[in-house]
A and B are shown apart, each in its own frame.
Chain A
Amino acid sequence: MTVTLDGVTKTVAGETHLYGMSLSLVPNGLNVLLGPTTAGKTSILRLLAGLDRPTAGRVLVEGADRTTAGVRDRDVAMVYQQFINYPAFSVYDNIAAPLRRARLPGPEIDRRVRDTAALLHIDHLLDRLPGQLSGGQQQRTALARALVKRARLLLLDEPLVNLDYKLREELRTELRHIFQTGGATVVYATTEPQEALLLGGQAIVVDAGRVLQIGEMVDVYRNPASVRVGEVFSDPPINLIAGRIAGGEVQFGGEMRAGRPVHFAGLADGAYRFGVRAHHVDLAPAGPGAVSLSGTVELSEISGAETFVHVRHNGLNLVSHEEGVHSFRLGEPVTVYVDPDRLYAFDAADRLAASPHGPAGAAPVLAKTAGAGPA
């Protein structure tokens, strides 16, 4: 199903949530809305579902203007961030509800409810009430109710955010599989870059009610069109260092100098902001050209099998993302290395001037990121 938002503005009580937003969804594919909280993701989903009307602009479905069509006239299913089920119905009746409203024949309903429940591994819970289930099972029920309809537009509003880490991983893998096999146009809203990368598909990066960039997921990750996309689409946020390019040299963070890397060849001399992702700030030199920087440890966080070290140097804060568990004392002197070949350059208007991955579209690898996360 082709769905297009055409210059859609949404204002609620004098507050603008969406500013003249235009975007097209990949038909029968996965579209990931990536943006921080209050970016407008939920507003977009509600417009697509028909729960809200835009203040201005149009919503086109299969080329036809469906801006004012009500919820019941649209072929949509939705999963909320909170676990929304019908508390008074059993799991079976919850899943069957949309089919019963569509007046499907009884045996057909029964078959589809049981198939969908089996797909989401809740077939042993059909007699329970939602209140008797764990959070993960409740959200599986909500997902089953959305999937059982086989709606042509499936909207998911941060469906995994309220689940614990393990459950999230597990459900995400299952969802990826379901999205690939189902024929629906899926819109998946998330705040997490990792989740977006794992899901793949078309990335729609939104912030403060505007679309910042649309493109193939890995392309967008590798070539963020602006500083803001870089910040939104990396966790921890991309490190930004002021500097300049002069002749055959790049200078950044005050006294650090290095030879002009190859991918900066086409750039004019002048002031730039350089971006480097946290996992390219290393505790050991990654390449022969790496520039060292001595600072002190401001903060060190261990997350799973990874360590985030916040290093302070002359008013410059860098976050280094290290594999493995490392322990640091606060204020401990530490040397980190930045490889100029890994630098993004953003111009004075904060637009991407050069990327270590070359121009957009040139990124060759797609499958590599699927399993292990960002390359």
Chain B
Amino acid sequence: MKAVRPSGLALTCYLILLMLPLYWLIKMSLQSNEDILGTFSLLPVNPSFDNYITIFTDSSWYLGYVNSLTYVLMNVTIVLLVALPAAYAFSRYRFIGDKHMFFWLLSNRMAPPAVFLLPFFELYHAVGLFDTHIAVALAHCLFNVPLAVWILEGFMSSVPREVDEMAYIDGYSFPRFFVTVFLPLVRNGVGVTAFFCFMYSWIELLMARTLTLTDAKPISVTMTRTISAAGLDWGLLAAAGTLTLIPGALVIWFVRNYIAKGFALGRV
């Protein structure tokens, strides 16, 4: 029999500690409130999908997911449209103050979101954007665009400048070169960037909560508002939490190869 190595043991302990909250969440989501509060057991007592059925049939619940997904996808689209040209400019051209501006972009991420809450709230009210999807998507750009420019610039700078020149010599116009030649070369970077923007926007609570009321209310906010006269609905909350994890897990699954390359090549 093979001896158990200490390192293997440590890894197992670590994994158990890591997965325990996740398991507990899923276990709770399959139980009713009474069972959760009544008994302590490692396996779910009377497991059922009732909580999930509630979420998928009650529009106040499932619209939370729709709202979240809507502004997250809007945000990722806007960020990529803005950051791709910006990162290209930073990687290819020298202009006055380029290095300072590049650093200033990053420093935007150092400010706490709470700082921007009041101006955004006031501004959006004034122009009638309050409680819309685009409001949240734009607000998240404040943090995602700098990050995206930073990541993409690293990827773009790893493409030799001579490729650009070659394309011009061969008769490419800039837009055609950018889309057909250049973008395929930085697709790993685009994947990594989209992932980070998606995740930030998906889990961000403070802005999403302040800038929405009902029409664009995201799922994370819905979850914080489950306190009813009867107290907290633990099972329902756990089920909603489990469902919230799924998009993130899916995105990670799809971009896992890009991310591995991204860590190796770029600026992540």
Contact = CB atoms under 8 A, between A and B. Distances in A.
B171 A88 contact: no
B139 to A, nearest CB: 35
B260 interface: no
B171 A72 contact: yes
B169 A76 contact: yes
B72 to A, nearest CB: 29
Nearest to A46: B165
B38 interface: no
Nearest to B183: A88
A78 interface: yes
A359 to B, nearest CB: 42
Contact of B170 (A51, A82, A98): A98
**Interface residues of B, dominant DSSP:** helix
Contacts of B184: 88
B163 A86 contact: yes
B171 A84 contact: no
B162 interface: yes
Interface string A83-101: 0111111000000011001
Contacts of B181: 86, 88-89
A326 B170 CA distance: 50
A58 B162 CA distance: 24
Contacts of A250: none
B172 interface: yes
Contacts of A85: 166
A78 B169 contact: yes
Nearest to A155: B169
Interface in A190-223: none
Interface residues of A, number: 22
B185 interface: yes
B160 interface: yes
Interface in B148-177: 160, 162-163, 165-173
Given A80-B162, A80-B166, A101 B172 contact: yes
Given A88-B181, A97-B170, A82 B160 contact: yes
Interface in A45-95: 49, 51, 70-72, 76-78, 80, 82, 84-89
B171 A87 contact: no
A88 B181 CA distance: 7
B240 to A, nearest CB: 42
B160 A84 contact: yes
A145 interface: yes
Contacts of B168: 51, 70-72
Interface in A298-319: none
B165 A51 contact: yes
Nearest to B162: A84
B165 A101 contact: no
A84 B185 contact: no
A102 B184 CA distance: 22
A88 B185 contact: yes
A101 B160 contact: no
Most B CB contacts (10 A, CB to CB) among A71, A77, A89 go to A71
A51 B184 CA distance: 24
A78 B171 contact: no
B162 A71 contact: no
Nearest to A142: B166
A80 B167 CA distance: 13
Contacts of A77: 169
Contacts of A86: 163, 166-167, 181
Contacts of B160: 82, 84
Contacts of B171: 72, 98, 101-102
Given A84-B160, A98-B170, A71 B185 contact: no
Contacts of B185: 87-88
Contacts of A97: 167, 170, 172
Contacts of B163: 84, 86-87
Interface string B241-266: 00000000000000000000000000
A101 B176 CA distance: 10
A84 B166 contact: yes
Contacts of A87: 163, 185
A78 B166 contact: yes
Interface string B172-193: 1100000001001100000000
Nearest to B176: A101
A82 B169 contact: no
A77 B170 CA distance: 7
Contacts of A80: 162, 166
Nearest to A13: B94
Interface string B211-243: 000000000000000000000000000000000
Interface of B: 160, 162-163, 165-173, 181, 184-185
Given A49-B169, A51-B168, A97-B172, 16 more contacts: A51-B169, A70-B168, A71-B169, A78-B165, A78-B166, A80-B166, A82-B160, A82-B162, A84-B160, A86-B166, A87-B185, A89-B181, A101-B170, A101-B171, A145-B170, A149-B170
Interface of A: 49, 51, 70-72, 76-78, 80, 82, 84-89, 97-98, 101-102, 145, 149
8 contacts: A49-B169, A72-B173, A76-B169, A80-B162, A80-B166, A84-B163, A86-B166, A87-B163
User: Closest 5 CB pairs between A and B?
Assistant: A101-B171, A88-B184, A98-B170, A71-B168, A84-B162
